[in-house]
Structure 1
Amino acid sequence: MTEHVDVLIIGAGLSGIGAARHLQAAFPDRTYTILEARDAIGGTWDLFRYPGVRSDSDMHTLGYRFRPWTQAEAIADGPSILRYIRDTATEAGIDRHIRFGHRVTCAAWSAEDARWTVDATHGEETVRFTATFLYSCTGYYHYDAGYLPEFPGIERFGGTVVHPQHWPAGLDYTGKNIVVIGSGATAVTLVPALADRAAHVTMLQRSPTYVAALPTEDATAIKLRRLLGARRAYSIVRWRNIILGTLFYQLSRRRPDIVKSMLRKAITRRLPPGYDVDTHFTPRYQPWDQRLCLAPDGDLFTAIRRGRASVVTDRIEEFTETGLRLASGARLDADIIVTATGLRLLALGGIRLTVDGRPVDLPETMVYKGMMLGGVPNFAFTIGYTNASWTLKADLVSEHVVRILRHLDTHGYTTCVPTNTDPTITPQPLLDFQAGYVLRSVHEFPKSGSRPPWRLGMSYAHDLLNLRYGKLDDGTLRFSRHPVTPRPDHAPRYSMG
């Protein structure tokens, strides 16, 4: 039998649980279900289980707006974040609305019925749901596999090759020589975590990345919690970190030489005297062209200073029986090689959308307010910031969905759909970000527009004003009480209005 709900949420990770909490608080009597492809709450934070896995944002901004983070660690490990998400779901009763092992494959909108029909695989069966509003909280990672380049001779290597996205539970690396290929956030996390037990860990990188050391514990947050209580302290520290993060990002974009000098001086102080900072920690790109990596308490630099870890900047020529041969002719012997070579992206979790029988070709659509698709009715999705915590944007998107649903109720509307009738708005890549995992896949995603409200912004202050307080009935988001039909005038390929 087909089950109908008011709102169907896809994904029970950080975004999905937050979306359910916002929805439930605003509409206690509205029905909703969360479909989760895996068998556990947590999304990314349940999937990634490599040693040292942690946040690369402070928990006062990665945490939900409605639920204070109260632990001492501001840069938290994966298990702590996972417990925070699960506790949020349990305390609000959200876990009772989750259907685990339900992988959504397709969703079809019917204007005649003003509802979505959603198919999900559950074991060997196909299960069908209908919903008035569809809310995708799948993130944009490909959960099945990470990115692995073609390495010549990898089959010859006699040791163990591991990708962080699929870390073996029983892998014993005690006393082993380990090479971690990569220089991004995962590699910067793994190297000091492995160095505690390994004989030696080498971070092998083609080019450096920017790394900043931050304290694991936020002393100000701890003091404020004692004086003001958890909720007031959380709000103050959250806003302080938002403001400081925004100022640092703007300084990075406008005066990159100042930021590069600051980062270089900070790194040099933490590394051994005479260390070749120019080769190993001076990137070719500007700060925040890619995401800045964090080293809590400078743990990466501590491991290097103690001789437990080292950095090699070179290219891989081939795998050998005992390790790697590099372009310089040097060889790295290893018992274990970790391919921290990046992620694969997947738009909307790979779900196929159709609108009145017509397939939605995602690269041909344009994103409205960074959270809806032009021409796709009663649909929203979450994509977080690349220059700040994911949850800052996820919370705002959830609040805006609540505003839309309340507007529908208040005026007796059944349908809302973003409609672009301005032919001067030109398509642009959705994410203006130079990270390899983005560049490899961004062509498979919807487009951003050249002007608001079709431009995907990366400014929390702008989104706060627009999504929390901005006008809903703006002439672009069209509301109706009856079935809608396509507009021929300048509308995107799948626009309705």
Structure 2
Amino acid sequence: MLATAPDFDVLIVGAGISGIGMAAHMEMQCPGTSYAIVERRENLGGTWDLFRYPGIRSDSDMHTLGFVFEPWKHEKSIADAPAILEYLNTIVDERGIRKHIRYQRKVVSADWRSDEARWHVTIEQADGSETRVTANFLYLGSGYYDYDQAYDPGFAFGDFKGQVIHPQFWPDDLDYTNKNVVVIGSGATAVTIVPSMAKKAAKVTMLQRTPTWMFSRPAKDGLANFLRKILPEETAYKITRWKNITLQDFAFKQARKKPEKVKKMLKKRIVKALGKDNYDEPTFTPPYDPWDQRLCLVPDADLFEAMKSGKAQVVTAKISSFTETGIALDNGEKLDADIIVTATGLKLAVCGKIAVSQDGKPVDFSERFYYKGCMFSNLPNLAVVFGYLNASWTLRSDVNSEYVCRVINTMKSKGADVAVPVLAADHALEEDDIFDFSSGYIQRALDIMPKSAIAYPWRLNQEYVTDRKIMQDGPVEDGILSIHAAGANAQTSEEQLEAAE
């Protein structure tokens, strides 16, 4: 054992859903284990505090985007950001987590020191000064996209005299009352913004280059609200959560097995919501199968209602140029705009853009394999969360948090301070596409993403039910994860790095 203990047993980066979830699981599963959460922003909430655009809401139901341990009690299961922040604030207050959060602390770098069996973490504070802390285990709940830069599609706005806004950096004082607004994009952000802005704007146009598969569902879960009236809160939540997980899984697999059948179903639901006279099939027919990209949720058919009222429209075309008063399209048409919103997607980032190193040598995550969708090959005492693409983010957050707590408890029981998934240099693993999705933000980031093999455990799986069973019930010491004291029964750092190259 080293003469001095680290500052924290576990350092959690990010006070969003992933970081708060890990802290809550530690409170339940690892009593007596010291931890801190460092958050670069002034408030907790992550995505739900960062994004301030009109209508910001979940695109997953809160019975699965909510945590397994904390029932969602609101009437609406498709929730807006204020309701989600209220939920998170309740958790940190009721579970004693708030006192562990350090705000306006940005993690700049983290170096694993093998001789000390701890991470040396450099943190930038609000005044620009830097401080250093040590931790035995590092848990990155820092999200999946770049908080500083949005994706830039290379638009040249030229002579346009109006305002250009990106949803990631929405100004608090934007007045769009009786203005003409063009929202460029067709993903979840655009589908959220358009009906919300249409309530006050003169007209809102969603300009899409390519359509997106959409589906409408009520914002309220009727069964959930009924069960809450007749059953204890936790029981009702468990039933609703199981129902929604099962339906999500069934819908995804149906889309992969019978895409034409799912296409017909989705189109039928749009026709019903929009009306035959307002439905234009090419506008709602993407050139790819459902769930090749994530489906866009339209709660309570709000987008279609805005279109029927004449306050919103969807135009499919490419941009030819930007004029003083709007956008010229490649089909010869023009769109007048006082405000242009570029909802063109996010820019992905790995591990919060933290400069991670191992005994002073930079870690290239694109050369490491995922281990159980949680840790990385030959990298000790570090875990991350990258949520499911075909289900709610929090489902992965929950299983990863529970699993890491099991690892930490196993380390404690053995008097060990190192847990590392060992992958030999001659592993001969067959690689798989890490994401079988065609979404632009995914494809643009493939070169920085960690590797994923075709077989478990060296992959980022997209099967929640399978992951949950393995992570909860499978042995922690599986013959791959080496748990030991520093310097004992371990490869050297040099050998570990060579194995990952």
* Fold match by TM threshold 0.5: yes
* CA drift at 1:277: 3.0
> 1: distance between equivalents of 2:6 and 2:323?
55
In 2, the alpha carbon distance for the partners of 1:492 and 1:267 equals 52
Q: Identify the range of structure 1 (281-290 vs 87-96) with the bigger mean alpha-carbon deviation.
A: 87-96
- Which SS does the other structure have where 2:306 is aligned? helix
Aligned alpha-carbon RMSD (Å): 1.7
- Output one character per residue of 1:118-156: Cα deviation in whole Å (capped at 9) or x when no partner: 00111221111101111110011111122121123x031
* 1:127 aligned residue (124, 131, 139): 131
One of 410, 413, 428 as aligned partner of 2:413:
410
SS at match of 1:119: strand
Q: CA deviation at 1:363?
A: 0.9
* Structure 2 letter corresponding to 1:216: A
Instruction: Specify which of 337, 340, 344 is matched with residue 341 of structure 1.
Output: 344
- Aligned match of 2:56: 53
Aligned pairs for 1:15-26 (under 5 A) are 15-26=18-29
Q: CA deviation at 1:494?
A: 5.3
AA aligned opposite 1:291: R
Residue equivalent to 2:45: 42
Percent same amino acid among aligned pairs?
47
Residue matched to 1:430: 434
**Is contact 1:148–1:339 with CA below 8 Å preserved after alignment?**
no
Give the CA deviation at 1:482.
3.1
Could you tell me which of 411, 419, 422 is aligned with 1:419? 422
Q: Which moves more between the two structures, 91-100 or 420-429?
A: 420-429
Counterpart for residue 485 of structure 1:
491
SS at 2:37 equivalent: strand
Contact 2:116/2:486 (<8 A) preserved: no
- The aligned counterpart of 1:5 is 8
**Residues paired across the two proteins, number:** 494
Matched residue type, 1:454:
W
**One-letter identity of the residue aligned with 1:146:** A
Give the letter for the 2:68 counterpart: R
Cα separation, 1, equivalents of 2:66 and 2:279: 37
The one of 212, 215, 218 aligned to 2:215: 212
Residues 358, 493 of structure 2: 8 Å contact kept: no
2:443 maps to which residue? 439
- Counterpart residue number, 1:203: 206
Per the alignment, residue 98 of structure 2 pairs with 95
Specify which of 311, 324, 327 is matched with residue 324 of structure 1: 327
Shift of 1:275: 3.5
Contact 1:192 1:303 in 2 (8 A): yes
CA spacing shift, 1:349–1:146, aligned 2, 3 Å: same
5+ residue gaps, structure 1, are: none
Q: Give how far 1:487 is off.
A: 8.3
Q: How far apart in 2 are the matches of 1:485 and 1:392? A: 33
CA contact (8 A) 1:179 1:334 kept: yes
Which has the higher mean CA deviation after the structures are superposed, 416-425 or 282-291? 416-425
Moved beyond 6 Å, runs of 4+: none
- The Cα shift of 1:414 comes to 1.7
Normalising by structure 1, report the TM-score: 0.97
Contact 2:17 2:394 in 1 (8 A): yes
Match of 1:451 among 439, 450, 455: 455
Task: Confirm or deny: 8 A CA contact 2:6 2:136 kept in the other structure.
Answer: no
- Distance in 1 of aligned mates of 2:500 and 2:441: 29
Residue in structure 2 matched with residue 74 of structure 1 by the alignment: 77
1:300-325 per-residue CA deviation (whole Å, 9 max, x = no partner) reads 11111111111100000111000000
Which amino acid is 2:456 matched to?
P
SS of 1:99's equivalent in the other structure is: strand
Give the C-alpha shift of residue 24 in structure 1.
Answer: 1.5
- After superposition, the C-alpha distances for 1:404-444 in whole angstroms (9 at most, x for unaligned) are 01111112222110111362203344323211111111211
1:179-198 counterparts in 2 under 5 A? 179-198=182-201
Contact 2:114 2:493 in 1 (8 A): no
- Contact 2:367-2:500 at 8 Å conserved across structures: no
- Is 1:357 the counterpart of 2:360? The answer is yes
Question: Is the Cα contact below 8 Å between 1:365 and 1:494 reproduced in 2?
Answer: no
Contact 1:366/1:427, CA 8 A, preserved across alignment: no
1: CA distance between counterparts of 2:493 and 2:33? 32
- One-letter identity of the residue aligned with 1:132: N
Aligned equivalents of 2:427 and 2:118: distance in 1? 29
Q: Which amino acid aligns with 2:66?
A: G
Look up the equivalent residue of 2:491 and give its one-letter code.
T
Q: Is the 8 A contact 1:374 1:492 kept in 2?
A: no
Q: Which residue matches 1:312? A: 315
Structure 2 partner of 1:290: 293
* Distance (Å, rounded) in 2 between the aligned partners of 1:423 and 1:28: 37
| Cα contact 2:143–2:385 (8 A) shared by 1 | yes
Contact 2:15–2:44 (8 Å) recurs in 1: yes
Deviation, structure 1 residue 492: 6.3
Preserved contact between residue 417 and residue 479 of structure 1 (Cα < 8 Å): yes
CA distance in 2, matches of 1:349, 1:19: 17
Are positions 1:371 and 2:377 aligned together?
no
| TM-score (norm: length of structure 2) | 0.96
